[in-house]
Structure 1
Amino acid sequence: MTINVLRKEAHSEGFTTVAYKTDGTAIITGGQDSKLHVYNTLRSQRNTEPKILDEHTEPVCAIATHRANFATAGEDGTVLIFRNSTNDFEKFLVRSTTPIRSLSFNNNGTRIAVATDENVIRIILVRDISKVVTLSGHTTLVKSVAFSPTSDHMISTDIGGDIKIWDMNHSSGAPQCVKTLPGAVRKCASDADVMNTIAWSPDGAYFCFAGKEHEICVYSTKDWTQKYALEFAHFNDIITMAWSPNGSYIASVGKDRTVVIWDTTNQSDVVKYENTDAISGVAWHPQENELALTDLKGQLLMWYDPINISTMGHPAKKATQEVDDLEHLFEESSTQQASLSNNGGSTRQESLLDNVAQDHDIEEDEEGEELDDEGEDVDMASDMGDFVIDDDGAGYAEEQQQPQRQTTIRNGITGRAIGPQHKITEQATFQPGSTTFRTMDTAVQPPTPLEGERRYMAFNMFGIIYTIYQGAHSIVNVEFHDQAHNRNFHFTDYYHYTMASIGPDGAVFAVEGGKRRKKEEKSNDDEDSREPAGVTPSVIHYRPLMNWANNLEWTIDLPEGENVKSITINESAVIAVTSAGYVRMFTISGLQNHIFRLENIVATAAHGNLVLLVYKNGGTGLNGEQNLEFMLMDTTTQDIIQRGNLPLQKSSHLTWIGFSETSVRQKLKNLLDVFQALMYDSNYVLSILHRQRSFGQSYWIPVFDGKLTAKTLERQERYWPVGMLRDRLMCLIVRGTNDAPYFPRPPVDDIELHMPVINLDTEAGQLEEAHMRMRLISNHDRTEAIATNQQDEYYDVLKEADADMDKTLLRLIQIACRTDKEQRILDLAAALHSSRSVDAAVKVATHFKLSNVAEKLVQIKEEKFMMHDEMLSLSKRSMELDLDDESISSKRIRY
């Protein structure tokens, strides 16, 4: 077997550690030179220089990664938090007087376990470093810690050779040691290269560690007993190990300079590689057939294709042999897809996820809280109680900590994004992506928020706008997910803006009339030089986001008695809905260019050159129907693209509207803008507007059921939508009794869409759902291509989508062949998009000895594709003849 290893000089000689970011986009290494290196994992960029981070002052010993952040620690006694998206340093989490040897995030990234050169373990709440739980029980210095994949348990080792298993959800309310394995690992010095690593299987059913006789001991979590050992491959101490993403393999490295890959099914070594120096770190790529290694020379080794997937299973994928066979039939398509993906297909999505997970308004000491050598223990039960209440670190425990506060959220102009089911009331007006103040001073008429209260005014795929009430003024903060083009900013707001919207080029703010501003409290250098006092008209204010375009800022006062009720912005227009029943449209420069009447508007959302308006057609029906309608409009041409009824279940209401942003834009490097209208209701169902370009033929298709998703995941949570990226819902997760997210800002999660089809718990049901969803997206891309006359630009995208759908259909054909369902096989084959795919279906049918079906499949191929191919060939030949004639004519003219 050919070993394909790329070697890089990374750090100075000595112990070097390595980890992948959880999305596989980068490798992080830390070494004796106190530096961190971040390497791009794209093979096309594997020779580029890494980004170097030098916040540590002494050797780096440990790296832990999670979706939003990665943490590092070392002999300087600090734990540092960095952002995944930018690799920027975020904050100090821990300062210790002793070196830190091991780190481990829990499964949702809200807690981190820290092992220092002490005999205690500290568990720290990432969002609030003052919350520290200390676990005592080890009699010697702790060497390593590791949360289980579900975070129900944690395992630790010490330099004396003991292993302790901790129940993190113990009935007592505090973590408890439930089992000790005395002398299970080799005794070592605290600074030894041997790490006494505990490696968990991805499903949490097993864990493994290096035994005292150079073997790997694999234990079951059912009874905490050993099930088998992997031995006779290493001949010296095992330094560390890692379980493959799908649980099929374990990679171990040792002082004997070898890397051994073990098959956990056969319980034997299957691949062995000998390095020139002892290996000190190992990590599997989360999605690819790839290993990252570091050695005691300070080198990084990228081992490509360590598993021969032609004879063994892929280390990051679970697939049956039959599926693997099908993949070979589409090798070319898969290669094209991988190429597109490697060229940045997911860059925008991952950038969004990583950036938005950060909160720039956490009011805590950025230098962290020093843990002295004595380390006063925090009451364990009370702290773990806080963890249970505030499990995601998003500030939801605030209500119990401050019971005097009122937590009722009023359903006013900003509305309620999501919440518990209530008795049906008339649909309220709301601003998508906004929340209300949590507390209000009811002694003031009208009620005003308490000083220091904050709320989101806009939260979408571009960025976030939130305001902090300060009495005579407010502080408005504008933050962006992608800061490569725009920088965050804030300003003093004397209007107390009540609504806002943010787009790729600008932000717009508005406030109803009747608000008072105090002239004497405006500073001389405030950006708005006007100083009117007393009752003010309703105001619309636009701020460009481009640094060079400050002169494009504008403010408009509405006529007396006319108030802004809803505001939104897209790439070409600012759209304001007013109490006069007017929809006023302005260009980005502030020019009034359109106005029309539309009464009883509930909400507006805009994207690209489109605006979606939802309005009432009469009051709420006696049977609980809201009687809502929608209008989709092109703000450039003022053409109505689509309009119709908004389908809501009885006794439910609309909670959010917006637009999707598909990955066509990403794959083709912003060449195409494809947006699709979305709606989300109080039953937590997300629907998309299908055939939105075909007037009178559109309808809403459900693509996500929040209740079903939470039940499947066995979680008590709800989803507060932010947007959609092709086949993923971008949302904030809300837990407890809260109706909407609060502060500190929780991270944005991406939840895979699943249409609510029947039998989704079966393989066939999952494949049927996947095919329906892919066909839905492809049809939308196709209609957009025709509507915008961009068929050539869409060609590769649509071809790739057809290939993906055919793979899914062929897997369904496999299942139908296994159960001998002839008509279903023929129905599936009729939906295939290429003659090559039908040939693959014939092979599948032949494999299952269904010769009669195979003959009918050949007939389908002839009827569906042969004539099409002949017509295509004739058309191509005709074009060639025409070109030859033109060439001859041009030569004659030149002559």
Structure 2
Amino acid sequence: MASLIASRPRPRPAHTQGSTRCAYTPDGTKLVTVGSNNTIRVYKTGSDGEPTNIDDCQEQNTSVSASNDFFVAGSEDGTVSYYSLRDNLFEKFILRTSLPVRDVALSPDNKWCAVASDELTVKVVDVEENTKLLTLREHNKPTKHLSFDPKGSMLALSCTDGVIYVYSMTAEHPELIRKVDGVIGRMETDSDASCRVIWHPDGRAFAVPTPTRDIQVVSKEDWEKQRAFANGHEGDITALAWSPNGALLATAAKDKKLLVWSTKDQSVIARYEYANVIDIVWHPTKNLASFTTSDGEVFISPEFVSDQFESMLRLPKQPAPFIHDPLAANGRRPEPNGAQLPTRPRRGSLDSLDDLLDDDLGDEDDFVVDDDGAGYALNSGRKRPAEDDGIYGQHPNKRGNFVQPQHHAAFQPGSTPWRGNRKYLCLNLIGFVWTIDQDSSHNTITVEFYDNELHRNIHFTDTFLYDQACLNEKGALFSCPPKEKSPAIVYYRPHDPWTHRADWRIELPKGEAVLAMSLSDTYITVTTSANYVRIYTLFGIPVRVYRPKSTPMVTCTSWRDYVLTMGNGPVGADGMCKLLYTIQNVKRDEICQNEDTVALPEGAVVKSVFFSDNGEPCIYDSTGTLLTLLHWRQPSRAYWVPLLDTKLLPRLASGRKNENYFPVAVAYNKFHCIILKGGDQYPYFPRPLLSEFDFSFPLTSVPGKPSTTSEDEDMPDANSDEDDNQTSKETLTLTQNYLLKSLQSSQMADLLEFTKSTAAERAALARLELDIDKTLLQMLALECREGGEERGMRALEVVQLMRDRTGRMVEAAGKIAERYGRTVLGEKIRELAEETVGRARGRGAGLDEDDDDDDF
């Protein structure tokens, strides 16, 4: 937009030279200014006469904040004073600090006043009853500026260490919830340069000056950088303020420029030449702004915005300038006033109960109950808040449903949401793909491989704005959402084509968007918003198009010829749709598992789904549990087995670590993930390192020695507790080893049964079963060493779990019992060995008998 120079208002000498601040009352009727002399001036809006003076005040006032009835001012002598606007008189001191006050801010309800000073703490005092005092201590640095968000639920502190500290004000005592580093610079509390946080009127972001003389917008949703107002000033920024509707931003700097920016496109629409401006305020309703200088002057500028752009001030509340709106990325849309429309109603709250009942029950004629489902109560005349059903839209008729089903949101495994202008499209053990939003017309995509000797890294300009990707050893798959005039596109790019050009693009039908997609060695799977599953070969030949039974679709993954899809099923007792999965072999056109339920605790959701390197389906859920699917090749036999509960990791035992884990893969019998610190849910840049954890079944305890109640029992010696603890650890380790090897054996046996097995695979299964028996022998030795004859039944049970069919391992178990002098146990094991050998000979002679419960 072209910039304009508007008419110049006259300066009004208000205070002596020095820091001069100003504030409008919320109703806009008065402007209050404070300065370095012992006079406070109150200007009446619309009047060109002399202001009202308040002479009974402190000198060297550094800050002011006003309500309609009173205002507070802080001064360098450490006092915070309360003044009445009805009588224009000083009434009381509400706080005293030992060092100079630098900033004061009234909460939106005008009940609390936050005070920043050169002390290391910030005080929040009750305006009416100043004995009620809250102290913010966790920043430990002097605070230069502070600012309440529009709802008063957060207080942002700009401190001298170059960090923004955000406190939650909703708890009984304020709690530090975020440190925003790398945005503002270090500066002294008495510097004219500003690092003030100014919250956008929609409450979802704030703007703050940076050391590079730009104004950076930061999202409250994910605390990442969004749009920036750049290349406007050549000196340090000293003041900034949003217009009341958030459509404009005014800034001033030491370069003697006062600029007005358009929020929507971050362009300058007006330029003014004023020196030494240190404070700016907009009138709440009029095209009027006032600003003060360090010379003690006040400028009241009517028609602050020219006629060409004045209409922007009359717009409704505008959204903050996001690169990618975090709410839109989560399937939600922001309202103009900053509120959020939920994708589903909250459960178990009074709000959801109120939704069931009409607040206005006076009109009883509107109360009709459709108790027989005939449909005559489709429209009772009551209006309900609109709900956002995401990409699937909203049915035009609510049909009187009191409880809306809660759907699992669609997601792409291995990807992250937008944070600022960056997003990981894919993270796995092959490599990682990320995109950077350069501007509204194109992105740049980078594909990096862990093995650069096998594949070269890829970097290209993306004009299609791809937002999803898959990566494997053969190629990379991308997709972009549909736009107003163009359809969604699926793009495949092989790594090493043997023809001149082998990449291809396919357009989906108009309006159909990609929800999730997967890439295997043989097929490409795409799930869409039209509730279709589309399966292609690696070179774009469609082989399947079908509509699954469980919709809306959630996600998909694939391995070789197998495709796993997930979708929303019937509504459960908690109002949440059950998550259903289907596994099919595309090549053989066989269904392995058909619309089976994903095992999730109440309230939990799937965070990622993938096949392991051995082709075993795995999920990672929001409880931090990794599970694998056993016997999935056999219809109706599959069940979920927990491989690891991250909440039980030893590294979290102290309770001092706050970690989350972003799942990447299951390979080499380990869980590969990215460790996230400080409550983060997704990795960010620079590229994080991968970590790996061994599998560990969630076993919290194992049986120990039986207790005795004999009165003449000797007291245990001092080392008994330590010995018992060591034994429990050994038992737990062996039990974990046994369970894990048994799981691996079952998985390999399934693989050999349903595929053409090789000699090497059959030998690997035999080695696994041998390892299981060796582990059981170790468990037997531990039982014999630590327990007496009273534990013989448990020891015999360990022997019965052995896989050996020849009797050799059972004979070895008998020798272990003899070594530890367990005579009775040894006899039982010998009987078992003889029975085993007899059955083995019978099978060899073709005299197999029906198996019974004792057959091992």
The structure that has the greater radius of gyration is 2
What's the TM-score, normalizing by structure 2?
A: 0.48
Structure with greater helix share of residues: 1
